[in-house]
Structures are given as structure tokens and as C-alpha cells.
Amino acid sequence: MNYSHLGIEADGGSRGNPGPSGSGAVVIDEVTGLVLREISMFIGIATNNVAEYTALKAALVEVRKINPAAKISVRMDSKLVIEQMSGNWKIKHPDMRALAMEIQGIASGLDVTYQWIPREENHRADALANRAMDEQADRTVDTTTTSMHPSVVEFNSEKPSSVRAPGHVDAPLTTVILVRHGRTKLTEGKKISGRGGENPHLSELGREDAHKVAKALAKIGTEGQYAYLKPPSAIVSSPIQRTVDTANIIANQLGLEVSLDEDIAEISFGDWDGHTNEEVAEQWPQQWEAWRGSWTVSPPNGESLQEFDERVMQARKRIVGQHAGKTVVVVGHVMPIRGFARYAFDGGVSAYWATQIAPCSMTIIRMWGDQATEVVTVNDTNHL
């Protein structure tokens, strides 16, 4: 295949500066978004700057092998390397000057542009650099020769993948990864738990599950079945305690901050909160039967699906708009996640009970503003 536009994301790190150092880089087909090379190199004792320059060098060597005539976009979170390679800053240190001259020789004749990006957008290269330091080993993977995951065969990195999707989609893509919170004592006791009732922390098992989904999220954009997606760069959470606990565990794994959004809190079950389904059916039999399957009936002092859907759709529009062009993790509850899925499938009221959403499951939806949606997966629990 003739890869005409290639992207490089490169990073390096040093534990001690100088200290044990590693470089990481990916080479990407800019047309499809697929990763063509994954590079991780253990350098030994060196500085951050040496590790970053070494990552760029290794990636440019791979680009020459793939297609030296391609247009190449280099993206790094090192302002120093980007500005020095662009010719805007002088290179004062003699060792760095020699390394930069070597890289300029490799890049000679190539059509290369350099762009600085925030650290959170360089997640893939950072993960590979850390892997090199952890394993103290070198690894270059030509992903074009490995078996392609079925999910990427027809994947389009910027537009809806199906040829039957609406044409003329020009809104930026936002990838939304919806994660249900981990288990609590109420979850484990099969008790109704909504907005405004008891507000427990995660249970021990719930925290274990949260750590598992956090590790799975850290692989997105780097390795595994979702390596072809952009890695997460933001986390939004419901303000309810169980979601905040889960979001904080994810944030610690990804190195991101958590913002709260009241509109993705769970639906309010009013007086039924804390009861089992059997207890509600026995104590409120008529209201229970009228509520089941209804769009407008609410539990006593609770919230109807119609009211709930309005606020979740406001949250969806706001979150997608604020994180346009990026991947955002939304940590929520069963009903808000079902609400996002209902919108994606253009479903009716029954969509609110047609999908199973397990604790710490992942549901991934790609959204182009209000123009188009694409569901990648629903209720993925393979990491648990």
C-alpha cells in the first residue's frame, strides 16, 4: 500500500534525568488512522531530551522504510525538540547538537512538518517509552504484518465507517467511552440505587473492577483491540460518589483530571431508592406496574424517563461539543449510558431497557456533533 500521509508521535522519558531512559514512538497512516509501527527502545542512562530525540530518530528511520515520498507530520509534547528541529531555537549542548544533526541527516529529502501537542495527546508514545523502561528491552512492531483485528478492517479514522452513513459529515469526531461505575454494597445487594438516595463508596470488589477498567482504558490507542482509536484525553464523571471513586481510579491510571457533570447523574427513583425490586412491587403495586415501560410516569418523588432523557441529552451535546476531535471517558450509571446508546441507535423508549450495562463495562460511541453516530461496542466486559 502507498502511504502518502504519515504521522509520527514520539516521546521519551528518564527516571532520574539522567537515569534509566526509554523512547517510544508510533508511525500512523494519517488517511485511515491505523498504527503502522510501534517502537519502544531502552536507552540506558540518559536525559529526557536524549530519549525524546532518540524516539524521533527511530520513527524517521521507519518512515523512510515505509514511504520516503510521503508527507510526514511529527507530533511531540517536547517543546524543545519541536522548536529545535523546526529551526526556531538554537541547540547549545554539543552532544544534543550532534544527535540533532544526525536526525536532520535522516530527515534530509523528506517532507516533514513539526507540531507541538499537549502531553495528554501523546499517550501512545508515552506508554511505549514507559514500557521500554519497565522491560529494559527494545521492540519494534510492524503492525501491517500482524493479523488485523476485525474491528479495523472497514474503519475510517475521521468519518463514519459505513458507506450507508449520511454524506457531507463535517463536524469533528468525538469518541465517547462510557464506563459504568464499579460495584457498591447496594449493587451487590440488588437494591435500587439512583440519584438522591444513599450515596455509598465503591465496595472492595468495585474498586478491583475499577482498577481493571482503568488498565483497559490505558491501552486504548496503544495496544489491543482498540489500538486504532485515539487515546483518552479527558474524563467527565457524574458527581455521585460511586462514579467519582471510579473516575479517580481511572484518572490516576491515565494521568488526567476529572471534571463533574450533574446532568449525567443516575435517574432518581425517589421513594424506591434502597429497596429491592420485589419490595417495591409489594409496597407500591399499582405505581410499579404503571411505571414499568412508561415514558412519563415517575416513581413517587422520583424522575420520569422523559425528564431524565432531557437532561442526559443536554449533557451529551455539551460533552461532545467541549471535547470535539478528542476521546473522552464518561463515567456514569446504567441509565445515562443507555441514554447515550439510545441516541446513537436513534431508538425509542424501549432502548432504556434493551441493553445490559454491567459495572465497569465500556460502551464506545463515535459522534460527529448532531450529524452522525457510530457504535463501536456496548457493554464490553472482556477486561473484567
- For 57-157, strand residue ranges (E) read 71-76, 111-116, 139-142
**What is the dotted CATH code of the domain comprising 173-380?**
3.40.50.1240
List, for residues 292-351, the tens digit of each pLDDT value: 999 999 999 999 999 999 999 999 999 999 999 999 999 999 999 999 999 999 999 999
Per-residue cell: 197? 438516595
CATH of 5-146, one of 3.90.15.10, 3.30.420.10, 1.10.3470.10, 3.40.50.970: 3.30.420.10
pLDDT at 209: 97
Q: Measure the N-to-C terminal CA separation of the chain; round to a whole number of Å.
A: 37
Distance CA(223)–CA(241), nearest Å, equals 31
Which pTM does this prediction carry?
0.71
List, for residues 223-271, the tens digit of each pLDDT value: 788 888 889 999 999 999 999 999 999 999 999 999 999 999 999 999 9
Of 52, 62, 121, 266, catalytic: 266
Give catalytic status of residue 181 as yes or no.
yes
List the chain domain ranges: 5-146, 173-380
Contact between 129 and 12 under an 8 Å Cβ cutoff? The reply is yes
Contact between 115 and 74 under an 8 Å Cβ cutoff? The reply is yes
Other residues' Cβ atoms within 10 Å of the Cβ of residue 147: 6
Q: Please, which residues have CB within 8 angstroms of residue 222's CB and are 6 or more apart in sequence?
A: 38, 123, 124, 127, 128, 231
Share of the chain above pLDDT 90, in %: 83
Distance CA(352)–CA(152), nearest Å, equals 29
Give catalytic status of residue 266 as yes or no.
yes
| Residue 334 φ then ψ, to 5° | -55, -55
